[in-house]
Amino acid sequence: MNDTHPVVATIVNLYHDVHRQLREEIIDLAPEVLEWTPGPDTNSIGTLIVHLLGSEAEMLRSVLGLPNDRDRNAEFVAQTSQRDDLLHRIDTADTDLERLGMSITEHDLFTSRVRPNKSAAQSGLFWLVRNYGHAREHLAHVQLTRQLYLLTSTR
């Protein structure tokens, strides 16, 4: 019998859907596309995915009251993006969702927690929903960056 709170199960499934869509966006992209940026002060697809997944992992650990060693600034340092590495990171995030996400209890949903770099304590439910919005926002950035690359590379 599964005693996962229905809200948690729904949110975990929504995150899995974001991961599925990320895979679809990058499955056929070469490293130069994954590293391309549309302009100054923008991020590559690879950077966006590393950041999105780093934020998600931090959020899960925070909601559960677990320690976290995330280096957010390192997520934005230019690095070579390989599709297989990004796919592996997405797979790891899926595993974390099953292991950590599905262990979130009703108590965790309504317990106030402070996340690193955030000023106010909020409920676990707040952090789950807020971070899901963050993930969707960056998924859209990934999709737009891919579209812009394809537009500029065909000229």
DSSP state of 50: H
pLDDT tier at 1, thresholds 50, 70, 90: very low
Fold for 6-153, please state it. Answer: Four Helix Bundle (Hemerythrin (Met), subunit A) (1.20.120)
Give the pLDDT confidence of 36-57 residue by residue, as tens digits.
999 999 999 999 999 999 999 9
Give the pLDDT confidence of 54-81 residue by residue, as tens digits.
999 999 999 999 988 877 677 767 666 7
- pTM, two decimal places: 0.92
DSSP 3-state assignment of 154?
coil
Q: Yes or no: say if 142 and 48 are a contact pair by the CB < 8 Å rule.
A: yes
Mean pLDDT of 144-150: 96
**How far, in Å, CA of 105 to CA of 3, rounded?**
9
Domain boundaries, given as residue ranges, for the chain: 6-153
Of 138, 149, 153, whose CA–CA distance to 34 is shortest? 149
Q: Yes or no: say if 127 and 115 are a contact pair by the CB < 8 Å rule.
A: yes
